């Protein structure tokens, strides 16, 4: 929408809600619009909104609060989220309340200049997001339970706690990774910093070619469940590839790894007599849900605390079936599970291991099989698979993974013994009653696995960018939770400020970083979760860190210096987490210098060279050796 039109809206609305004009200068869009509209001769308030459709909309004169409630989120591209929450809280009982909502929408934090004039358009909303803005519906007397009122109250609680989820309309560009655009406005590009497409396989030419060929020959859908017309050569092939990747007898593919974890734990926990499942306190919701569905007894041990795990194992009778469920890379904090020690305890106390490698497959190991393969780097990189026995990966009973992150597609899987896989196949309703993944998806995912088994090039480059970003953030006084993995959790400590920081990064700096709030992380430990990819360059890193510095200053967020100066009496959870990750935990990168096999100047960050993966063309070798046959260090302790 033209700036003059925005100013016109503010000017006419201020006739009934005067205070807004005095404070509208806090918003970069409103302040520019007001200046231009002061000399405007226009007397109407017809609003023409930009976009592909070029649609127009007329507003009443003077503008009413009810009109603003319906359309105000399209006025300012930054404020739609806050307006929704403010409307919901205030109920828009009067025009004065409407003015207050717009003031809250703009906020003092939006006062920084617009960088390079790149203003993202207003965000579209999911259908559900509008529910939070409505006042509580009147109860229908004599009609029984007030369903709509119940829905409203539940959503109101989410809004009041700043945990209501808004979905940004992010459209990643296949030919311009890591770039994307918002809604339909392709002219306003953004840099995507939080995608789980860790290796950019979703745009790899071999993957795309395989998918196109498959869809041309076999169509879009699988045609049914595995039992009814949905079993085909594509699903058989990818299950063979996955079993080979993890050196297991069999594998089973699901629509998602959420379904895979839920199904496997549900079946095992319900079928094994008197089963006890020991679960890491930071496990993913899919594992928690599977344990609940199983009805089995559960024991939760402190995150990565092997003494606590052993204490609980010791309390269970030897003959009782036990499952230890844990993850290799924990996605919100980036910590790494002590796989080797967990296996030792499982063998000692008669338990089986259930390892979620969702955020590790394609990212670690000489063939991308995950952290379990990575820990035996030299053996797995140099020995033929048929001759390998007794490695860490071999000693795991069940491995689960995803096709939707490093492999750039969609779906999940389990891998284990043939009898285990058959048990899940035969009893899991999540598998039995779900339509098979489309043939093109299976073909593309299998190709991505094969690409990442053949070379470590993109894995190496991704790790370089991760090191570079972590180093730059700490140098810039921006606090992060240090860890050995590719996850970069930037610590904020407030749900409201984490959301606002994300909005400012997007609206003023064209950087998309998603905030992570409760219940994904604990209250007071809210954060921004950043995941570099091979396509991010040193220049991208520099621009992001600069943007974060400006946002940190605008919002008065706590810095490294602030957290180090905080009391050490247990009263400050965020400071305790930061200090513990910096000074107590072993955060040495899983990818060692020897594994990266790069010149020293790149490892130390002293080189300005930028290695940008050109996936549009045929894959080209990078200026460092392939590590498939390189000698790595001996086994690395987890």
Q: Which residues are catalytic?
A: 405
Supply φ then ψ for residue 323, to 5 degrees. Answer: -125, 130
* DSSP element (H, E) containing 160: helix 147-160
Torsion of CA 603, 605, 609, 611, to 10 degrees: 50
Residues 120 and 506 sit within 8 Å (Cβ to Cβ): yes
Residue with tokens 């085909």: 232
Token pair 């285990």: residue: 420
Instruction: Dig out the tokens for 187 from the structure.
Output: 């002219």
Q: Which of 548, 537, 619 is nearest to 177 (CA)?
A: 537
Residue 541: in which H helix or E strand, if any? helix 538-555
Q: β-pairing, 46-48 with 56-58?
A: antiparallel
DSSP secondary-structure letter at 27? S
Give pairs for 97-101: CB < 8 Å, separation 24+: 97/65, 98/17, 98/64, 98/65, 98/68, 98/69, 98/72, 99/13, 99/16, 99/17, 99/19, 99/20, 99/65, 101/68, 101/72
Please give the distance of CA 352 from its chain centroid, rounded to a whole number: 29
Question: H helices within 297-350, ranges in order?
Answer: 306-314, 339-349
Residue 291: both structure tokens together: 């344990």
Of 369, 368, 449, residue with least CA distance to 409: 449
Helix ranges (H only) for 395-494 are 418-427, 429-432, 439-454, 457-475
C-alpha to C-alpha distance for 235 and 251, rounded to whole angstroms: 10
Look at residues 161, 153, 157, 361 and name the one whose alpha carbon lies nearest to residue 251: 361
Calculate ∠ Cα 275-278-283, nearest 5°.
130
């Amino acid at each position: 929408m033209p700036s003059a039109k925005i100013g016109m809206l503010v000017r006419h609305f201020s006739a009934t809600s005067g205070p807004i004009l005095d404070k509208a200068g806090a918003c970069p869009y409103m302040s520019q619009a007001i200046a231009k509209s002061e000399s405007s001769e226009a007397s109407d308030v017809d609003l023409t909104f930009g976009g592909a459709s070029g649609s127009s909309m007329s507003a009443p004169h003077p503008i009413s609060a009810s009109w603003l409630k319906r359309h105000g989120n399209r006025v300012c591209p930054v404020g739609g989220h806050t307006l929704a929450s403010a409307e919901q809280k205030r109920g828009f009982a009067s025009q004065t309340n409407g003015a207050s909502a717009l003031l809250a929408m703009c906020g003092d934090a939006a006062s920084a200049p617009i960088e390079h004039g790149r203003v993202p358009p207003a965000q579209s909303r999911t259908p559900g997001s509008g529910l939070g803005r409505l006042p509580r519906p009147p109860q229908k007397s004599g009609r029984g339970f007030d369903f709509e009122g119940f829905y409203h109250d539940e959503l109101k609680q989410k809004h009041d706690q700043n945990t209501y989820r808004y979905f940004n309309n992010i459209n990643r560009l296949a030919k311009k990774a890591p770039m994307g655009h918002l809604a339909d406005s392709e002219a306003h590009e953004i840099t995507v910093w939080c995608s789980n497409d860790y290796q950019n396989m979703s745009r790899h030419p071999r993957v795309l070619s395989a998918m196109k060929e498959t869809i041309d020959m076999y169509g879009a859908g699988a045609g049914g469940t595995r039992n009814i017309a949905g079993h085909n050569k594509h699903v058989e092939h990818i299950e063979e590839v996955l079993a080979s990747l993890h050196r297991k007898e069999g594998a089973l593919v699901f629509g998602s790894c959420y379904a895979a974890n839920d199904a496997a734990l549900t079946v095992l926990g319900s079928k094994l007599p008197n089963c006890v499942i020991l679960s890491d306190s930071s496990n993913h919701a899919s594992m928690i849900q599977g344990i609940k569905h199983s009805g089995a007894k559960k024991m939760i041990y402190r995150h990565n605390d092997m003494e606590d795990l052993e204490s609980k194992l010791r309390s269970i009778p030897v003959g009782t079936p036990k499952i230890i469920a844990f993850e290799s890379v924990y996605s919100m904090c980036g910590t790494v599970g002590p796989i080797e020690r967990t296996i030792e305890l499982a063998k000692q106390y008669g338990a089986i291991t259930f390892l979620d490698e969702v955020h590790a497959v394609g990212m670690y190991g000489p063939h991308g099989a995950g952290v379990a393969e990575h820990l035996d780097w030299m053996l797995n990189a140099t020995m033929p698979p048929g001759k390998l026995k007794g490695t860490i990966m071999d000693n795991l009973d069940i491995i689960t993974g995803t096709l939707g992150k490093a492999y750039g597609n969609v779906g999940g899987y389990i891998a284990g013994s043939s009898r285990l896989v058959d048990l899940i196949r035969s009893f899991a309703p999540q598998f039995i009653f779900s339509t098979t993944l489309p043939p093109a998806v299976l073909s593309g995912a299998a190709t991505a696995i094969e690409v990442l088994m053949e070379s470590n090039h993109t894995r190496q480059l991704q790790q370089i960018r991760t090191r570079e970003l972590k180093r730059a953030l700490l140098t810039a006084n921006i606090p992060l939770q240090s860890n050995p993995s590719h996850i970069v959790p930037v610590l904020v400590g407030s749900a409201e400020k984490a959301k606002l920081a994300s909005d400012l990064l997007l609206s003023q700096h064209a950087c998309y970083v998603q905030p992570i709030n409760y219940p994904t992380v604990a209250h007071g430990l809210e954060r921004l979760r950043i995941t570099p990819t091979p396509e991010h360059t040193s220049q991208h890193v520099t621009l992001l860190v600069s943007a974060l510095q400006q946002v940190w200053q605008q919002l008065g967020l706590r810095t490294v210096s602030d957290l180090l100066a905080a009391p050490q009496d247990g009263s400050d959870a965020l400071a305790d987490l930061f200090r513990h990750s910096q000074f107590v935990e072993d955060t040495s990168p899983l990818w060692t210098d020897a594994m990266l096999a790069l010149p020293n100047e790149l490892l130390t960050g002293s080189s300005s060279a930028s290695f940008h993966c050109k996936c549009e063309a045929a894959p080209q070798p990078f200026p460092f050796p392939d590590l498939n046959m390189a000698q790595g260090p001996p086994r690395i302790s987890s």
